[in-house]
C-alpha cells in the first residue's frame, strides 16, 4: 500500500469566497442529495430540524417532517420519473419515496437487525445499499429484504462506483478504532475485501468523474487520502487542521471538504487547500449546478451556497475532454507568474480570460483563431492580491475553466 506524506498547506485569504448566501436560516442542515432530475434536497439534524427540504430555485419547500431523527444521508436510483429516493432516517428506519418526495413509506429498523441506518446509496441496477453501526446491508428487490456483510463494523459512508456498478465502497468509522478503514466489494455488495486503508477513520468518501477516490476522517491527524486505482491502494496527501466530515468535487477537478473550522477547496488533488471563508463547523458539502452547498447546525445554521463564477451565461455549454483540454496551471499556487496550458482537438476561435473570485473579468490573455495543437500562455498576477482566480477558456458556444491560487 502506498503511503506518501507531502507538505500540506492550508492557505487563508480574506478576499476570496466571501459571497456565501444563507438559506433555511436557523435550521441545522446535515445532508444533501440530488435526484434523477437534478433537483436538490437537504436533510436536517434531530428535534424540530428533523425534516427534508427540496430546493425550488429560489427557496426551500418542506416535503417531510420527521419525529426527531437525523436525516443522515440520501440515495437515489434511476427508476421512474424522479428516481426512487431513500433517506437514512437514523432512528425510524429507511425512508422511501417513489414520487419525488410527495409521499414516503418507512422500511423499519427490523430490516437492519434493529440498527439505525446512517448511510445509503443506490446502484443503477436497482440495488439498495445501507450502512449501520453494526454492518452493511444490501437489497436486490427494492427494499423487500436485505442481506448483510461487514458484520460488527461501524459502517458509515457507502458509494457505488460511477463506471462499474459491481464496485461498492464502504468506509468504517469507530471511536474505538475497531476495523476502521476502507472496504471494497467487486460483486455488487455481496462480499467485501479486507481492509484496504487500515487505521484510517473512514468518515466520508467521494469519487470524481476520472475515477479517483477520496477519503476524509474525523480523527487526528485528519488525513486526506486519495486512491487512483478505485480503492486498491491509497496515498495520504496530507493532514487537515481539524476533523473533516463532508467531501465533494466538481467536474473540472476542484475538490471541496468541510468540517470543524469551515470549508476548504483544493485545485491540485489535495496537495494544497484554501479556506472558503465559511464560518462555523459544517457537516455536508456538495457541488450542484455551479454552486457549492454546505450545511451548518445550530441557531445560526442553515444551508449556505457559494456560486462559482464562470464569466458566461447559463445557455452556454460546458466542454468535455473530447472537445479540448484546459490543464491545471503550473506552478499552483503561484507568485506572481504561472503558465496555463490548453490543447485543441480541432481548429477554432478561442478566448482565454482571467476572472476574480466574484466573477469579474480581469484580463483576456489569449484569443483568436487557433489550429489544433497544444498552447502555453503566461499569466502574471503581480498587480493582484492573494486569492482564488479563474481561467476560462471559451469557443463560440462551449466553455471550460480552472481555478488559480495566487499567494504573496
Q: Which of 238, 254, 253 is nearest to 321 (CA)?
A: 253
For residue 12, the model assigns a pLDDT of: 37
Query: Which pTM value belongs to this model?
Result: 0.79
What's the rounded Cα separation, in Å, for the pair 225 and 187?
24
Strand-pair partners of 248: 256
Tell me the CATH number of domain 9-307, given options 3.50.50.60, 2.130.10.10, 1.20.1530.20, 2.102.10.10: 2.130.10.10
User: In angstroms, what is the C-alpha Rg of the chain?
Assistant: 21
What's the rounded Cα separation, in Å, for the pair 66 and 44?
9
CA distances (Å), origin 396, targets 28, 315, 345, 347, 401: 43, 12, 15, 12, 15
Question: Under CATH, which number does the domain 317-406 receive?
Answer: 2.60.40.1930
Cβ partners under 8 Å of residue 114, min gap 6: none
**In a structure prediction context, what are the per-residue pLDDT tens digits for the chain, which is 408 residues long?**
444 333 344 443 333 445 799 999 999 999 999 998 899 999 999 999 999 999 998 899 999 999 999 999 999 998 888 889 999 998 999 999 999 999 999 999 999 999 999 999 998 778 999 999 999 999 999 899 999 999 999 999 999 999 999 999 999 998 667 799 999 999 999 999 999 999 999 999 999 888 999 999 999 999 999 999 999 999 999 999 899 999 998 765 789 999 999 999 887 888 888 888 898 999 999 998 888 999 999 989 999 998 876 554 333 334 444 567 788 888 888 999 999 999 888 899 999 999 887 677 899 999 999 999 999 999 999 999 888 888 888 877 678 888 888 888
Cβ partners under 8 Å of residue 79, min gap 6: 98, 126
C-alpha cell belonging to residue 353: 480570460
Phi, psi of 116, rounded to the nearest 5 degrees: -90, 130
For residue 337, the model assigns a pLDDT of: 94
Q: Within 10 A of 265 (CB to CB), how many other CB atoms are there?
A: 26
* Dihedral, 312, 316, 319, 325 alpha carbons, nearest 10: -30
Provide the residue ranges of all domains of the chain, joining segments of one domain with +: 9-307, 317-406
Strands 135-139 vs 168-172: parallel, antiparallel or unpaired? unpaired
Amino acid at each position: 500500500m502506498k503511503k506518501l506524506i507531502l507538505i500540506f498547506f492550508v492557505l487563508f485569504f480574506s478576499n476570496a469566497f466571501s459571497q456565501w448566501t444563507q438559506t433555511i436560516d436557523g435550521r441545522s442542515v446535515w445532508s444533501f442529495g440530488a435526484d434523477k432530475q437534478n433537483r436538490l434536497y437537504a436533510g436536517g439534524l434531530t428535534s424540530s430540524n428533523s425534516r427534508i427540504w427540496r430546493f425550488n430555485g429560489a427557496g426551500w419547500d418542506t416535503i417531510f417532517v420527521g419525529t426527531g431523527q437525523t436525516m443522515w444521508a440520501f440515495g437515489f436510483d434511476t427508476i421512474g420519473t424522479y428516481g426512487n429516493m431513500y433517506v437514512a432516517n437514523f432512528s425510524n428506519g429507511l425512508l422511501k419515496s417513489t414520487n419525488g418526495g410527495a409521499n414516503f413509506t418507512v422500511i423499519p429498523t427490523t430490516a437492519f437487525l434493529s440498527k439505525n441506518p446512517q448511510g445509503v446509496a443506490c446502484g443503477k441496477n436497482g440495488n439498495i445499499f445501507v450502512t449501520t453501526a453494526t454492518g452493511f446491508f444490501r437489497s436486490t428487490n427494492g427494499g423487500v429484504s436485505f442481506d448483510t456483510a461487514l458484520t460488527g463494523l461501524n459502517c458509515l459512508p457507502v458509494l457505488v462506483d460511477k463506471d462499474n456498478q459491481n464496485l461498492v465502497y464502504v468506509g468504517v468509522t469507530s471511536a474505538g478504532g475497531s476495523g476502521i478503514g476502507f472496504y471494497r466489494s467487486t460483486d455488487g455488495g455481496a462480499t467485501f475485501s479486507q481492509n484496504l486503508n487500515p487505521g484510517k477513520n473512514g468518515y466520508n468518501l467521494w469519487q470524481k468523474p476520472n475515477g479517483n477516490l477520496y477519503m476524509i476522517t474525523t480523527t487526528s491527524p485528519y488525513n486526506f487520502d486519495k486512491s487512483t486505482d478505485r480503492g486498491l491502494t491509497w496515498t495520504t496527501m496530507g493532514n487537515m487542521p481539524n476533523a473533516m466530515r463532508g467531501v465533494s468535487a466538481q467536474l473540472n477537478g476542484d475538490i471541496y471538504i468541510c468540517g470543524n473550522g469551515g470549508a476548504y477547496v483544493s485545485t491540485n488533488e489535495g496537495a494544497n487547500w484554501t479556506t472558503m471563508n465559511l464560518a462555523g463547523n459544517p457537516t455536508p458539502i456538495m457541488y450542484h449546478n455551479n454552486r457549492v452547498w454546505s450545511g451548518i447546525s445550530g441557531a445560526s445554521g442553515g444551508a449556505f451556497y457559494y456560486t462559482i463564477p464562470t464569466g458566461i451565461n447559463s445557455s452556454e455549454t460546458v466542454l468535455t475532454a473530447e472537445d479540448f483540454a484546459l490543464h491545471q496551471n503550473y506552478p499552483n499556487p503561484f507568485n506572481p507568474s504561472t503558465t496555463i496550458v490548453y490543447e485543441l482537438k480541432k481548429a477554432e476561435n478561442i478566448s482565454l480570460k482571467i476572472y476574480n473570485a466574484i466573477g469579474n473579468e480581469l484580463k483576456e490573455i489569449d484569443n483568436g483563431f487557433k489550429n489544433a495543437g497544444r498552447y502555453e500562455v503566461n499569466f502574471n498576477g503581480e498587480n493582484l492580491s492573494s486569492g482564488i482566480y479563474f481561467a476560462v477558456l471559451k469557443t463560440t458556444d462551449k466553455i471550460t475553466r480552472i481555478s488559480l491560487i495566487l499567494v504573496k
